[in-house]
Amino acid sequence: MKAFPALARLAAALLLALLLAAPGLALEAAGATTGAPGASDKHAKAPAPGPGSAEPPAGSVWTEPRTGMIFCWVPSGCFVMGSPENEFGRNLDEGPQHEVCLAGFWLGQTEVTQGQWRAIMGNNPSLIANGADYPVDQVSWDMAKAYAAALGKKTGGGFRLPTEAEWEYAARAGTRTPYAFGEAISHDEASFEKRYSLPAQPAVSKRKSRKGRRKARTAAPKVRIWPNMHTNVAGSFPANAFGLRDMHGNVWEWCEDVYDARYYARSPRENPLNDGEGDARVLRGGSWVTKAETLRSANRSRGWPDLHTAFYGLRLVRPAAQPGPALPRP
Ligand SMILES: [Ca+2]
Ligand SMILES: [Ca+2]
């Protein structure tokens, strides 16, 4: 220490005093030497395709030979998932908005049709059984999973439901507006808000007066038929920038994820999939009977896995031969 020059000792003392006087500077200095984790990859690109597996060109399509099901290539990329707080019809579970990056995948151009369902399962569960080209309805999440597995078994390919993030990325197709077609959606662009009425059920409350109960019992059902109760032929409406049709409306589409209203606050940036605790599964895109705001790209809904209604259908993913979400085996 005796050899340590006085000038250097003075400089070291001055530097120490400076660091103590300015804790922010000390923190920054520490960060600069250790490297804050995650800071350097903040603006990284989407997960790169595996070695030697170049992505198909944008706009590529592939047809599954047995069912004729057409798949559109959805290229790798990043997007902002969720909706801004001022979006009309927004629910709290659409936030916080966060960046998500996905590996590319093939996604059904349309919802699975009744003909495509029958070709693999030998039946048609649809309530609105208007023809082979209409989307299959009355499909539960369990049934959708079984269809994906059966198609894979019969054709030797792997098929699955989209993750919730894949679904929203595909629905947006590069847009940040509520719909892929802009700020609003019209009946020339999607199947929604069709009116139907169930026969009126006498709803008698125990708290009602005797007169009220008698009136309810004798009231004639207001509507005996379900007017306009139908889906549209799959693919009737314009495609989005990825070539996909009916992401907005027609039938709700099941996703793989367990529904969790708070998932966005903790979901990973790359290829998120909520396979955690919970029973309800995610439904996306609204249906032929729901309001325009339910069709928004960011809207999230849910259903029990065995619930099947005339509003629920599906669309399939054919995984690319490259790293993607680790999904449970069917
Ligand atoms: Ca749909
Ligand atoms: Ca919702």
CATH at 87 = 3.90.1580.10
125: which residues sit within 8 A by CB, 6+ positions away? 117, 136, 137, 138, 139, 143, 308
User: pLDDT at position 196, please?
Assistant: 59
CA of 287 to the centre of ligand 1 (A): 6
Q: Is residue 171 part of a domain?
A: yes
301 alpha carbon, closest ligand: 2
Q: Is residue 68 part of a domain?
A: yes
List the pLDDT tens digit at each of the 330 positions of the chain. Answer: 334 444 444 444 333 333 333 333 322 223 233 333 333 333 444 454 444 458 999 899 999 999 999 999 999 999 999 999 999 999 999 999 999 999 999 999 999 999 999 999 999 999 998 899 999 999 999 999 999 999 999 998 899 999 999 999 999 999 999 999 999 999 999 999 886 554 444 444 445 455 555 554 444 444 334 455 689 999 999 999 999 999 999 999 999 999 999 999 999 999 999 999 999 999 999 999 999 999 999 999 999 999 999 999 999 999 987 333 444 443
User: pLDDT at position 36, please?
Assistant: 32
Q: Is residue 273 part of a domain?
A: yes
Q: Is residue 143 part of a domain?
A: yes
What is residue 74's DSSP assignment? E
What is residue 301's DSSP assignment? E
315 alpha carbon, closest ligand: 1
User: pLDDT at position 62, please?
Assistant: 95
What is the reported pTM? 0.76
CA of 264 to the centre of ligand 2 (A): 14
249: which residues sit within 8 A by CB, 6+ positions away? 185, 190, 191, 192, 237, 285, 286, 287, 288, 290, 295
95 alpha carbon, closest ligand: 2
User: pLDDT at position 118, please?
Assistant: 98
What is residue 230's DSSP assignment? -
94 alpha carbon, closest ligand: 2
User: pLDDT at position 6, please?
Assistant: 46
Q: Identify the domain containing residue 151 by its residue range.
A: 57-194+230-319
CA of 294 to the centre of ligand 2 (A): 7
Q: Is 213 helix (H, G, I), strand (E, B) or coil?
A: helix
303: which residues sit within 8 A by CB, 6+ positions away? 140, 141, 252, 254, 280, 281, 283, 309, 312
CA of 8 to the centre of ligand 1 (A): 72
Q: Is residue 296 part of a domain?
A: yes
CA of 45 to the centre of ligand 1 (A): 29
Block residue for tokens 């889906």: 231
User: pLDDT at position 98, please?
Assistant: 98
User: pLDDT at position 292, please?
Assistant: 96
295 alpha carbon, closest ligand: 1
User: pLDDT at position 131, please?
Assistant: 93
CA of 227 to the centre of ligand 1 (A): 21
CA of 224 to the centre of ligand 1 (A): 28
CA of 91 to the centre of ligand 2 (A): 5
Block residue for tokens 């903040």: 42
CA of 113 to the centre of ligand 1 (A): 11
Q: Is residue 105 part of a domain?
A: yes
CA of 324 to the centre of ligand 2 (A): 26
Split into its structural domains, the chain has a count of 1
CA of 80 to the centre of ligand 1 (A): 21
Q: Is residue 208 part of a domain?
A: no
Q: Is residue 329 part of a domain?
A: no
- Nearest CA to 134 out of 246, 248, 240, 301 is that of 246
User: pLDDT at position 37, please?
Assistant: 32
Q: Measured between alpha carbons, how far is 239 from 242 in angstroms, rounded to an integer?
A: 7
CA of 231 to the centre of ligand 2 (A): 21
Q: What share of the chain is helix, strand, coil (3-state, %, to 5)?
A: 25, 15, 60
CA of 190 to the centre of ligand 2 (A): 18
47: which residues sit within 8 A by CB, 6+ positions away? 76, 101, 102, 103, 270, 271, 323
Element (H, E) at 24: helix 23-34
